[in-house]
Structure 1
Amino acid sequence: MTDLPEQPDAAVDTSKHRTIKSFVMRAGRMTEGQQRGLDLGMAKFALKLEDGLQDFDQVFGRSAPRTFEIGFGMGHSTLEMAAAAPEQDFIGVEVHRPGVGALLNGVMTQNLSNVRIYSCDALEVLRDCVADASLDRVLLFFPDPWHKARHHKRRIVQASFAELVRSKLKVDGVLHMATDWQPYAEYMLEVLSAAPGYQNLAADVQYVPRPEERPVTKFERRGERLGHGVWDLKFQRSE
């Protein structure tokens, strides 16, 4: 989730040998609050890819509904969701360091205990750190659509992505995606509709109305003022 023009996400190829990144690493100016988040929050709330498979019941100290968010941007929506649902746990992944710092700072400021963060490639985290059939939700909000045809291979939503996510969701768990670019929404719909083991939760087997649990970002509000649409898709693991 992001309020930035371009959203860093994760790799589209789950192979360890060849990885086409769907995000662009970029430097960003760090604010005092973001640096505070990194300096003081990493040790308490950050997890490491190299630590491998995690027992998240042990990490959070409880068994609770668990959400995995790919590319949380500056973390505003993640923070809002976590604060609104203290009975749930949230695992967010983001490569943009100012965004990681911002979310960590917010978690500390609001004294939340139900958020953990990875600062690395989200699909590597899914593959190496998340047990099969352990997640209640996977969120992918406003990923980079890679508009040009020659860049479509960089899109995070691919058949391999759908299969990896399905393997990590519990049966009846939900993949929730949102985009503000209609051609990408149509592409997401096509990929997930063809993926085995999913059921589209939209009444018309296309898009769902914006769910109340997805916060509206400043980026989205700006788009709405400009007449831009937003498309939400929810696919439930059926088997």
Structure 2
Amino acid sequence: MTDSHDPQAPAEATPKMRTIKSFVMRAGRMTEGQQRGLDQGWSKFGLELEQGAPDFDAVFGRSAPRTFEIGFGMGHSLLEMAAAAPDQDFIGVEVHSPGVGGLLNGLLTQNLTNVRVYRCDALEVLRNCIADNSLDRLMLFFPDPWHKARHHKRRIVQAAFAELVRQKLKVGGVLHMATDWEPYAEYMLEVMNAAPGYQNLAADGHYVPRPEERPTTKFERRGERLGHGVWDLKFQRSA
């Protein structure tokens, strides 16, 4: 569901991540609703990387708690969260046009105004469009685990990713990740436990119970029926 580069920069510096893409562009047919979303919704909710860092208080017309989601897929969960929290603002990033169109169509249909959308590499958006110390939450749900060892360098969760996110979160802000691949959950935990400036919010120092604010997706429900687990991690910026 996500997109990224392979981050390798030291924690002390602003991360400069190599241009290896961790997502695979997939062609997909657009439904009528998805095309309507792009045609009618992009001018209202879409943001462009080339515009640089916007004043999000001006963009949303208010100052409110702000969440950034990397890779919102088809947009169902982000749409549900935005509808359930009208007092919060959401910035979603996705590279696949059908998912972007689906989210935009949902925003139009439900008359929601608290979401803005980028259609590009999420890490480019974080680096170039999001001010330091400005996010209350960053969500990364079900990223590609890149199962083969030779592809682990493409995983979005790396030391430099953790540092980049830490810079963008407010002190007290939370990085919330979820995966249905246990080896990746263990890897995420290892990376984040080693990352400076974070506190694991799990009582046992491992994983948190599924938070109520994260909607259960159709994909997740299907996995549950097949006996698959899901692991949620929450790390709070402490410094």
Instruction: Tell me the TM-score range normalised by the shorter chain.
Output: over 0.9
**d(CA) in 1 for partners of 2:190 and 2:54?**
32
In the TM superposition, 1:197-212 aligns within 5 A as: 197-212=197-212
Q: Percent identity of the aligned residues?
A: 82
Residue matched to 2:158: 158
- Length-normalised TM-score, structure 2: 0.96
Residue matched to 1:220: 220
- Segments ≥4 residues shifted beyond 3 Å: none
Say which of 10, 32, 37 aligns to 2:4. Answer: 10
How far does residue 12 in structure 1 lie from its aligned partner after superposition? Answer: 2.8
Where structure 2 has 5 or more consecutive residues not aligned to the other structure, the ranges are: 8-14
How far does residue 10 in structure 1 lie from its aligned partner after superposition? Answer: 2.1
Question: How many pairs does the alignment contain?
Answer: 232
Q: Secondary structure at the match of 1:69?
A: strand
**d(CA) in 2 for partners of 1:39 and 1:101?**
8
In the alignment, residue 214 of structure 1 is paired with which amino acid? Answer: R
How far does residue 166 in structure 1 lie from its aligned partner after superposition? Answer: 0.3
How far does residue 9 in structure 1 lie from its aligned partner after superposition? Answer: 2.1
**d(CA) in 2 for partners of 1:236 and 1:54?**
25
**d(CA) in 1 for partners of 2:173 and 2:67?**
10
How far does residue 8 in structure 1 lie from its aligned partner after superposition? Answer: 3.7
In the alignment, residue 175 of structure 2 is paired with which amino acid? Answer: L
**d(CA) in 2 for partners of 1:107 and 1:168?**
26
**d(CA) in 2 for partners of 1:168 and 1:123?**
11
Residue matched to 1:103: 103
Residue matched to 2:76: 76
- Length-normalised TM-score, structure 1: 0.96
Residue matched to 2:34: 34
**Residues 69-128 of structure 1 deviation map (CA, whole Å, 9 limit, x = unaligned):** 000000000000000000000000000110000000000000000000000000000000
In the TM superposition, 1:161-180 aligns within 5 A as: 161-180=161-180
In the alignment, residue 59 of structure 2 is paired with which amino acid? Answer: V
Residue matched to 1:4: none
Residue matched to 1:63: 63
Q: Secondary structure at the match of 2:213?
A: coil
- Residues 2, 140 of structure 2: 8 Å contact kept: no
Q: Secondary structure at the match of 1:43?
A: helix
- Residues 199, 236 of structure 2: 8 Å contact kept: yes
**d(CA) in 2 for partners of 1:212 and 1:163?**
27
**Residues 118-156 of structure 1 deviation map (CA, whole Å, 9 limit, x = unaligned):** 000000000000000000000000000000000000000
**d(CA) in 1 for partners of 2:2 and 2:207?**
24
Q: Secondary structure at the match of 1:236?
A: strand
**d(CA) in 2 for partners of 1:198 and 1:98?**
35
Q: Secondary structure at the match of 2:47?
A: coil
Where structure 1 has 5 or more consecutive residues not aligned to the other structure, the ranges are: 1-6
In the alignment, residue 125 of structure 1 is paired with which amino acid? Answer: V
